[in-house]
Structure 1
Amino acid sequence: MFRHRVLILGLLALAGCATESTTRTSTPARVEAARPMIAAAPVTAGPIWPASAPQIHARYAIMIDARTGRTLYQKNADVHSQVASTQKLMTALVLLQRGDLAGTLTIAREDTLVEPGKLNVRAGQTYSRVALLSAMIVKSENDAAAALARDHAGSIPAFAAEMNQVAREIGANNSYFVNPHGLPASQFSTARDMAIIAFHAYREPILRRLMATKYYTFLYADGRTRQLENTNKLLGRSMICNGMKTGFTNAAGRCLVSSATNGSRDVILVQLGSKTNYIFDDAETMMQWGLNSASPFSLASY
């Protein structure tokens, strides 16, 4: 498995996937970590904990220490919600942990039928799985997600079953997924479960690199190129942000999983169900607060 990830990193480098990257620290080797104990707050804590935290607009949120999994902040963190394209982090984990990205796939017609954000690849064209993974993470392209899922498992329902199985294995027990891209469906997760998923994604060097990539040049089968800009606006404006994933649908609202580091502490913030344009401002404010807090407070000891 380690050799497989080294090979994929080599393919990314050879392809020159990032024309500009915001990675502030070197990409670490994959870290095997115990399941994060991202526990619920004490009953007396109320829906928002701690009271000293900055106020943000998201309906559901949680911030954890990305190195230990300790909870630093939460707001309605266990309420079911659709999470839009942030669930592509779960898709990527399945592909990395159970798939073979060191090869190609041929686009099927069913892969092209998703909307709205997509590469507009055509049935019968062949692409490397790494290129499609890059497009899925950087620009959140839905046809790339559909093609990778169908190629891996044979069908979208079969892939969703793997998503749910991996979710249970890592402790995200309050989620149910039915597709790889997050378009509206009878599926749900919670801020806490998305933090668990993000905790594991943060330990994948391939994802760490892609989630911090500002621009990716996608090469089409007919020779055309298209520059894809990362949907995470924090990469272009925040010196502490080092990646993660955006999401938006009318059903889910604005969603953002973001990560930040100051060299001595790393944090992951999940925001779901925001209805304003302030989600990036809120993320920067909250992560600065988490990184600079004097004490490594936590809901529990681990």
Structure 2
Amino acid sequence: MAPAVAQDGAKRSAQASNKRPAADKPVRKSAQPAPVKRSAATSPSRPQARSQAAASPRKQSATVQRAVAAAPARVSYGQAFGLHAVEDPLDLKSSVALVLDQETEEVLFAKNSQAVLPIASLTKLMTALVVIEADQPLQEMLTITREDIDTEKGSSSRLAVGTRLSREEMLHLALMSSENRAANALGRHYPGGLRPFVAAMNRKARELGMNDTRFVEPTGLSSRNQSSARDLAVLVKATYGVPLIRELSTSHEYQVVVGKRQLQYRNTNGLVFNPNWEIGLQKTGYISEAGRCLVMQAELAGRKLIMVFLDSAGRFSRLGDAERVRSWLLDHGLASPLPAEDDVDVPRVTS
């Protein structure tokens, strides 16, 4: 008999989230939890902030990278809300998890699956879906500009300003290697630019019934891109229906020619290289506020499953969680699902 998911941990988590200090409460204006305060040593003064804003994008990027490197590590929203205190029978390192049958929607495993958290680069699945549904020419050449430089997290990229790649190449890098500048460029080249693109992302989410989901940009670098595991399962199912997204997201490696150089990219999900896995679609994600995230469509013992893991605490733990779930399902013949969690109060930070 399969062990039941512990309920008291979820209740303690809900109580903890209701009693969290004021610094962790959602801000009424945007309904987002306030960021963890930095020490005076790492927080720029107002004049410094103004001078940074006035600097060129290249100098801004360098300044942001130095600030990020010097800043203390921040806890994820899931950690701040106490979701990691919720126990589960498989001892997963992800604070949120959901596994369901793609065709019947039977829930095989659920842990804090209604919690609404930042989703990092899982965002790029919706980015790809909106780009493809816009039916823009895949071979049209797009150019990386200074607008695509990440000034929020200071993340690096091998796509220098001026790089020209086709729309399909940009999609490939965004889905397979989570290339942020490629994802932003795809949004900029949408009819009307980024603002209509983000509006289209949110409109598509509503069409799919993803009522816990909100997007503010196409890369996932912003912690205001948020969703729940249940909504993300809907997104995985929708994007699995697009052959190009399936193909590009599960590609092992890809080369692009930039000027006189060839750049080699690899898939960010190590499980696609594992012959024990039959993965039909996948996407990884990470920012400090979201923790390590992973969504997949995979076939086990002839059954198509959707797996969602959010806010995993270690670099490789999301892959380890997927392996634990896979082993448990195979050991039980995929016939004895763990009881789904009851409806309990879980953190929801949507606006």
TM range (shorter): 0.7 to 0.9
Equivalent pair of 1:59/1:75 in contact (CA under 8 Å): yes
Tell me the amino acid that sits aligned with residue 143 of structure 1.
Answer: R
Q: Decide whether aligned partners of structure 1 residues 109 and 212 sit closer, same or farther in structure 2, where only a CA change above 3 A counts.
A: closer
Tell me the amino acid that sits aligned with residue 238 of structure 2.
Answer: H
Match of 2:320 in 1: 281
Q: Decide whether aligned partners of structure 1 residues 290 and 91 sit closer, same or farther in structure 2, where only a CA change above 3 A counts.
A: farther
Structure 2 alignment gaps of length 5 or more? 1-6, 12-86, 341-351
Equivalent pair of 2:216/2:222 in contact (CA under 8 Å): no
Residue 71 (1) aligns with residue 111 (2): no
Equivalent pair of 1:267/1:287 in contact (CA under 8 Å): no
Give the TM-score normalised by the residue count of structure 2: 0.66
Match of 1:103 in 2: 139
CA displacement 1:96-121 (0-9 Å, x = unmatched): 22232423133252443124143323
Match of 2:305 in 1: 267
Q: Decide whether aligned partners of structure 1 residues 286 and 162 sit closer, same or farther in structure 2, where only a CA change above 3 A counts.
A: same
Equivalent pair of 1:104/1:126 in contact (CA under 8 Å): no
| Mapping for residues 245-260 of structure 1, pairs under 5 Å | 245-260=283-298
Q: Decide whether aligned partners of structure 1 residues 198 and 101 sit closer, same or farther in structure 2, where only a CA change above 3 A counts.
A: farther
Which is further off, 275-284 or 234-243?
Answer: 234-243
Tell me the amino acid that sits aligned with residue 81 of structure 1.
Answer: L
Which is further off, 148-157 or 267-276?
Answer: 148-157
Once the 2 structures are TM-superposed, how far is the Cα of residue 53 of structure 1 from its aligned partner?
Answer: 5.2
| Mapping for residues 139-150 of structure 1, pairs under 5 Å | 139-150=177-188
CA displacement 1:111-155 (0-9 Å, x = unmatched): 4312414332323x4321111100111110000000011101433
Q: Distance in 2 between matches of 1:58 and 1:170?
A: 25
Q: Distance in 2 between matches of 1:52 and 1:294?
A: 18
Q: Secondary structure at the match of 1:152?
A: coil
Q: Please, which of 252, 262, 269 is the counterpart of residue 232 of structure 1?
A: 269
Q: Please, which of 186, 195, 214 is the counterpart of residue 176 of structure 1?
A: 214
Q: Distance in 1 between matches of 2:210 and 2:329?
A: 23
Tell me the amino acid that sits aligned with residue 102 of structure 1.
Answer: L
Tell me the amino acid that sits aligned with residue 306 of structure 2.
Answer: I
> RMSD of aligned C-alpha atoms?
2.5
Structure 1 alignment gaps of length 5 or more? 1-43
Larger Rg: 2
Match of 2:229 in 1: 191
Q: Secondary structure at the match of 2:254?
A: strand
Residue 293 (1) aligns with residue 333 (2): yes
Once the 2 structures are TM-superposed, how far is the Cα of residue 227 of structure 1 from its aligned partner?
Answer: 0.9
Tell me the amino acid that sits aligned with residue 159 of structure 2.
Answer: N
Q: Distance in 1 between matches of 2:99 and 2:8?
A: 15
Q: Distance in 2 between matches of 1:179 and 1:130?
A: 20
Q: Secondary structure at the match of 1:59?
A: strand
Q: Please, which of 115, 119, 127 is the counterpart of residue 158 of structure 2?
A: 119
Q: Decide whether aligned partners of structure 1 residues 206 and 45 sit closer, same or farther in structure 2, where only a CA change above 3 A counts.
A: farther
Q: Distance in 2 between matches of 1:286 and 1:189?
A: 22
Q: Distance in 1 between matches of 2:88 and 2:96?
A: 17
Q: Decide whether aligned partners of structure 1 residues 226 and 61 sit closer, same or farther in structure 2, where only a CA change above 3 A counts.
A: same
Q: Secondary structure at the match of 2:190?
A: helix
Q: Please, which of 164, 169, 177 is the counterpart of residue 131 of structure 1?
A: 169
Once the 2 structures are TM-superposed, how far is the Cα of residue 95 of structure 1 from its aligned partner?
Answer: 1.2
Once the 2 structures are TM-superposed, how far is the Cα of residue 159 of structure 1 from its aligned partner?
Answer: 1.3
Q: Decide whether aligned partners of structure 1 residues 120 and 177 sit closer, same or farther in structure 2, where only a CA change above 3 A counts.
A: same
Q: Distance in 2 between matches of 1:219 and 1:64?
A: 40
Residue 213 (1) aligns with residue 251 (2): yes
Equivalent pairs counted in the alignment come to: 252
Equivalent pair of 2:144/2:160 in contact (CA under 8 Å): no
Once the 2 structures are TM-superposed, how far is the Cα of residue 244 of structure 1 from its aligned partner?
Answer: 0.1
Once the 2 structures are TM-superposed, how far is the Cα of residue 238 of structure 1 from its aligned partner?
Answer: 5.0
CA displacement 1:266-285 (0-9 Å, x = unmatched): 11211111112321111122
Q: Decide whether aligned partners of structure 1 residues 266 and 179 sit closer, same or farther in structure 2, where only a CA change above 3 A counts.
A: same
Equivalent pair of 1:260/1:287 in contact (CA under 8 Å): no
